[in-house]
Structure 1
Amino acid sequence: MKNKNILITGGAGFIGSHIANELMDNNDITIIDNLSTGNIKNLKSEEHENLNFIEGDICNFNLDDLTSDKDYIFHLAAMASVPLSVERPEECNEINLNATVRLLKSAADNDVEKIVFSSSSAVYGENKNMPLKETEPPMPTSPYAASKAGCELYLKSFYESYGLNYTALRYFNVFGPKQDKNSQYAAVIPNFISALLEGKRAEIYGDGEQTRDFVYVGDVVKANINACESDYNGIVNIASGEKLTVNRLYGIVKNTLGSDLEPEYLPERPGDIKHSLADVSNMEKINLKIDSSDFESQLIETINWFKTIL
């Protein structure tokens, strides 16, 4: 992708900053981020000639000022915490759903070519039809998941009503460098790493036999760019298509760091799902294939990054 005018909402966050850093040298990038969870230091150059950084909130910003000259939008700004959404459902709805609808209307009015939306596997809830296909009905178990499912419906409706092209990417458990240990995205990995590096016992919610489908942030960046350049309108799971128990994950991190600390098991958190595994066949529609055999090397790269900041 080159010579495009791009808006990234939440572009200082974990995933958004990786997208921005990948595209910054060859495109004009505008980022809006209220820095509630993001950090401008995630960007490779705060003073890059192609970067326009706006510290602001899309909930109370004139969106036409943002979208009027944009080719593409990567929409990642959100309340991305399941527990916080359970605690503050109305705020979650305002940030995740209402702000997205206003952004879609502004994008349609200003002839934006395409919007790529960061959705979540949380929309599947406790659906047991593994591996999970995009055609399965949403079964959200938290306000966060419900808000993401609602956004997907609005994206389709704006495509049908206004011709606004879109792809909604349902991320499974994303991990990688620059991830905040308080992040909703696969927070288990940075929590394990940071705890063991600090000589503390890591926390596992539940019995640890819950399974997750992990995907590296570099693959998520490829997914966003490929989706943007594709002509596909619809939903795509972004995952490895492989499942791993939290206990097994802990064992890998523990062995990699040479630790002998055992985890501390805590009660399950409200809204958390037990099992998650993606059907990844739809990724071919955006010309994406993920090699799950790279997981351990990607995990080592993530661990090495955490060593530099702790």
Structure 2
Amino acid sequence: MILKNLNLNPDLKILVTGGAGFIGSNLCEVLVNNGNQIRCFDNLATGKLENIQHLQSAHNFEFIEGDIRNLEHCVQACEGMDYVLHQAALGSVPRSIKDPVTSNAVNVGGFLNMLVAARDAGVKRFIYAASSSTYGDSKSLPKVEEIIGKPLSPYAITKYVNELYADIFSKTYGIETIGLRYFNVFGRRQDPNGAYAAVIPKFVMQLMQHQSPVINGDGSFSRDFTYVDNVIEMNIRAILAEDKNALNTVYNVAFGERTNLNELVVLLKKHLSKFDSGIAKVDPEYGPEREGDVPHSLASIEKAKKLLGYDPTYDMESGLKQAVNWYWNNL
């Protein structure tokens, strides 16, 4: 049960930007099931209607197709909303290196539009997807919110600028903001296709097809992989936060353990081979390191535990088991 005993008021009206995407659609689903009035706002550039198709008939769900780069669209989306869960962005470090202009237009210009629209609509709180990429070249582990390095990609710059803008808007205009620095989120409905697919769904699809997953580097790079239900919990806790010390700041969203890519492949083969024993015989291949990649990522979640009561349910392997089951039945 994702909501556990969080007791989210079902009368709240919540806007989810990027609501047809991976994380956004999962948020919409949980909140619709809780009885909240949910407005999903997405331009379908990377989101998919099929992710929210099962919600379209719900009386408390509304879909608006629009672009956060268009201020009028943002104003329309924010009208009458109590909270904004801002997930809309162009993800991927490689994508931002290939096309920094579009990444900046969406992630910075679009973010500013949403802040302005939320402010003008009298939204109570603006909760947004920040990123662990903000830690940049900082070598300290685990990552604590107050210590960051220099960004290593245009994407990382855009996500850090989001935090700066949110801070200024809370100080200047009084709108409450909370930033959630996501660490390598995975789970149901994460797209395995395309040039910028995340590593877990991409590896799952390759292994299911008995293709060798290609690891960038020697496989020693590690990540704090975070199951999507932990992310949903943090968004709900950010809505519920009442202590003023918990507001207008940023939090790591992770489990607090790291897994390297070699270990990841072993775990994926273990769980997938229960469906197809031939997968156990598929070995990975190794390619060059990817430009802009951070070698190691591990989050401290002490701040979220202390100020928001965060208590993640899923560790890496239990989340992976859930995700693999979903992919096997849906790919």
> How do 1:73-84 and structure 2 match up within 5 A?
73-84=84-95
Q: How does 1:12-51 map to 2 (within 5 A)?
A: 12-25=20-33, 26-43=35-52, 44-51=54-61
* Aligned residue number for residue 65 of structure 2: 55
Partner of 2:69, secondary structure, is: helix
- Decide whether the 8 Å contact of 2:94 with 2:196 is kept in 1: no
Structure 1 residues 79-99: Cα deviation after superposition (integer angstroms, max 9, x where no partner): 101111111111111100111
2:4 corresponds to: none
The alpha carbon displacement at 1:183 in A equals 7.9
Conserved 8 A contact 2:64-2:77: no
In 2, the alpha carbon distance for the partners of 1:286 and 1:143 equals 30
Equivalent residues of 2:206, 2:213 under 8 A apart: yes
| C-alpha displacement of 1:200 | 0.9
**Of 296, 308, 317, which aligns to 1:286?**
308
Matched residue SS, 2:281: coil
Is 1:146 equivalent to 2:157 in the alignment? Answer: yes
Contact 2:71-2:117 at 8 Å conserved across structures: no
Alignment partner of 1:304 is 2:315: no
1:199 aligns with 2:199: no
Contact 2:124 2:176 in 1 (8 A): yes
Name 1:243's counterpart in structure 2.
258
Runs of 4+ residues deviating >6 angstroms: 183-186
Letter in 2 for 1:30: R
Does structure 2 conserve the Cα–Cα contact (< 8 Å) formed by 1:82 and 1:184? no
Give per-residue Cα distances to partners, 1:119-157, cap 9 Å, x unaligned.
Answer: 110010121111010001342101111000000010010
Query: 1:227-266 alignment to 2 at 5 Å?
Result: 227-231=238-242, 232-233=246-247, 234-258=249-273, 259-266=280-287
Contact kept? 1:40, 1:46, Cα under 8 Å:
no
CA contact (8 A) 1:80 1:184 kept: no
> Aligned runs of 1:54-203 on 2, under 5 Å?
54-62=64-72, 63-182=74-193, 187-203=198-214
**Counterpart in 1 of 2:276?**
none
> Is the CA contact 2:107–2:159 (under 8 Å) kept in the aligned structure 1?
yes
- Answer with 296-305 or 93-102: which moved more: 296-305
Larger deviation: 44-53 or 158-167? 44-53
Aligned amino acid, residue 241 of structure 1: G
Shift of 1:186: 8.3
Amino acid aligned to 2:260? T
| Post-superposition offset of 1:195 | 0.7
Aligned amino acid, residue 212 of structure 1: R
Report the residue type matching 1:141 in the other structure: L
Specify the alignment match of 1:11 in structure 2. 19
Report the Cα offset of residue 52 of structure 1. 1.0
CA change 1:183–1:47 in 2 (3 A) is: farther
* Percent of aligned pairs with the same amino acid: 39
Which amino acid in the other structure matches residue 19 of structure 1? L
Moved more, 133-142 or 71-80: 133-142
Query: Which ranges in structure 1 are unaligned for 5 or more consecutive residues?
Result: none
**Partners of 1:9 and 1:134 in 2: how far apart?**
24
Alignment correspondent of 2:277 = none
- How many residues align? The count is 309
The whole-number CA distance in structure 1 between the counterparts of 2:318 and 2:263 is 16
**Contact 1:126 1:275 survives alignment (8 Å):** no
| Aligned residue type for 2:326 | W
Deviation for aligned residue 1:291: 4.4
> What is the CA distance between 1:269 and its match in structure 2?
1.4
TM-score (norm 1): 0.96
Quote the offset at 1:257 in angstroms: 2.2
Q: Structure 1 pair 301/183, CA: closer, same or farther in 2 (3 Å)?
A: farther
Contact 1:174-1:185 at 8 Å conserved across structures: no
Q: Which amino acid aligns with 1:249?
A: L
1:68–1:110: 8 Å Cα contact kept in structure 2? yes
Deviation of residue 218 (structure 1)? 0.5
Q: Which runs of 5+ in 2 are unaligned?
A: 1-7, 274-279
Q: What's 1:213 paired with? A: 224
Contact 2:86-2:129 at 8 Å conserved across structures: yes
